[in-house]
Amino acid sequence: MAKKVKLSEMTNMFKDMEILALEGVTIEGDIELDLGGLGGGFDPMLAALLGQENAVLAQHFARLASMFGVPVGIGAPAGVPAAAPAVSPALAAPKLKDLIPAKFDFENIAEWANQIQEVPIGNTSADGGSRGKRVMLGGEKALPFFPDAVMPNRNQVTIDVFDMRIGLAKAVKVNYDEVMDSPGEWAKKNVEKFNADMITIHLISTDPLIKDTPAKEAAKTVEEVLQAVDVPIAIGGSGNPQKDPEVLAKAAEVAEGERCLIASASLNLDYAKIAEAALKYDHDVLSWTQLDMNSQKELNRKLMKQCNVPRDRIIMDPTTAALGYGLDYAYTNMERIRLAALMGDDELTFPMSSGTTNAWGARESWMVSSPLKEDSDWGPREYRGPIWEIITGLSLAIAGNDLFMMMHPTSVAVLKQITQTLFGSIEAEPVDIANWIGTEV
């Protein structure tokens, strides 16, 4: 015959079993539970689980009754959490002495025989330049953050600056609005306030479809940025294949001896002219291709063999596709390039750079909400935008990327803190999560 007990009798049944969840809890009520299927006795673990659920059930009843103004005789002593009663420590987990010993050994992967080329950016006074520091990329002997192959150089971040006021996502613009008319002040703010390792100056006004700024005038902006900050700089054009070689050659000339990163040489423009200027005026070359490993090999080969660019002056940009817009493809492409390099492909053994800023091209990063009425809530864009840039950058860091071109100061801070923690560096300042969306929103 099934034995029935009242809910109020459950406390007495468990009182001698030292169940932490029920300590000091008094239950009153007329609900009856059928215990006929338990077979007569309680297993200690079963008793603990039943006791815990019993306490939770009683608390739910108490909260429900209180909503209707009905006092319920359930009390819990101070210090016992009402919402999450705990199982007795003796029953919750095995003791350490009961764990099975295990050993994990690291060993090098034999196929990874090649080391990634180290490439410096920036010349200090000792090197004939005026930069306050030199940034070093590359040198890895394995995929990033492997404990058996320490990375010789940490990831670096360069923050974007433009030579004219442009349209930016609100979450980005609010951090720069007062300096967007002065590239020098913009660069200075990125370094002094947002801890940029480098600055990338984009000479977009030189595009014939925008302002068609002459190369000589654009070069003055490069001089302005070099005087405003002492970190290494990257110099980018407008993306116009006819105008960029002239603009970048003139920029390389006025920055002679500073070992800037000239961005960029590609197969769809006069890469030979850019490479010639880089070598003549002591700079590095960014080798840019569009998500194709074979094209990357071809361009690197031409830079080395046709243009005589030394290996320690080439950095690759295989193109970054943002989260939701091909990030998986960009990740796979970068990882394949890095693995091929480690396994002996000498045409790919170079550091990589990511245009992580491309994340802001994704509509999900800057739109207020979805244009589709039936879509779910996207959440505030002040958080969503930086998250988009952070996830894009961190994903490619795992694939082997070395240099990140970024925009939002909080994205920079979070990415630097995570990658430098994995690297083992203590340079990064801790990010205040309570205010992580930036200084202004």
The per-residue pLDDT for 216 is 97
Q: What is the mean pLDDT of residues 386-412?
A: 96
pLDDT given at position 373: 84
Cα Rg of the chain, angstroms:
31
Number of domains in the chain: 1
Q: Which of 95-99, 138-142, 207-211 has the lowest mean pLDDT?
A: 95-99
pLDDT tens figures, 329-338: 999 999 999 9
d(CA 221, CA 182): 9
Checking if the pLDDT of 35 tops 60, the result is no
Does residue 88 have a pLDDT over 50? no
Give the residue with greater pLDDT, 285 vs 48.
Answer: 285
- Sorting pLDDT into bands at 50, 70 and 90, what band is 441? very low
Does residue 396 lie in a domain region?
A: yes
pLDDT at 348 over 70: yes
- pLDDT value at residue 143: 94
Q: What is the pLDDT of residue 77?
A: 41
Min mean pLDDT across 71-80, 148-157, 364-373, 388-397 is at 71-80
Q: Answer whether residue 362 is part of any domain.
A: yes
With 60 as the cut, is the pLDDT of residue 72 above it?
A: no
Q: What is the CATH number of the domain that holds 232?
A: 3.20.20.20
Using DSSP bridges, classify how beta strands 284-288 and 314-317 pair: parallel, antiparallel or unpaired: parallel
Average pLDDT over residues 288-303: 98
Q: What is the mean pLDDT of residues 226-255?
A: 98
Is the pLDDT assigned to residue 253 strictly greater than 90? Answer: yes
Q: How confident is the model at residue 61, as a pLDDT? A: 61
The tens digit of pLDDT for each residue in 163-207 reads 999 999 999 999 999 999 999 999 999 999 999 999 999 999 999
Predicted confidence (pLDDT) per residue in 108-139, tens digit: 788 999 999 999 999 999 999 999 999 999 99
Q: Is residue 41 part of a domain?
A: no
Closest CA to 215 of 199, 231, 186, 238: 238
Choose the weakest-confidence range: 144-153, 204-213, 246-255, 413-422: 144-153
Answer yes or no: is 431 within a domain: no
Write down the mean pLDDT value for the chain.
85
**Full residue range of the structural domain in which residue 295 is found:** 114-419
Average confidence (pLDDT) over 260-265: 97
Q: Report yes or no on 249 lying in a domain.
A: yes
> Above pLDDT 70, what percent of the chain?
73
What average pLDDT does range 48-57 have in this prediction? Answer: 67
98 touches 91 (CB < 8 A): no
**287: exposed, middle or buried (C-beta count within 10 Å: 0-12, 13-18, 19+)?**
buried
The structure's pTM equals 0.75
Q: Is residue 38 part of a domain?
A: no
More confident position, 240 or 31: 240
In a domain, 73, yes or no: no
Q: What is the pLDDT of residue 82?
A: 43
Range with the poorest average pLDDT among 23-27, 164-168, 370-374, 423-427: 23-27
pLDDT value, residue 73: 54
Considering the domain boundaries, does residue 3 fall inside one?
no
CA distance 430 to 249: 40
What is the spatial distance between Cα 139 and Cα 151, in angstroms, rounded to a whole number? 7
Around Cβ 409, how many Cβ atoms within 10 Å? 23
Give the residue, 84 or 426, on which the prediction is more confident.
426
* CA-wise closest residue to 219 among 233, 210, 230: 233
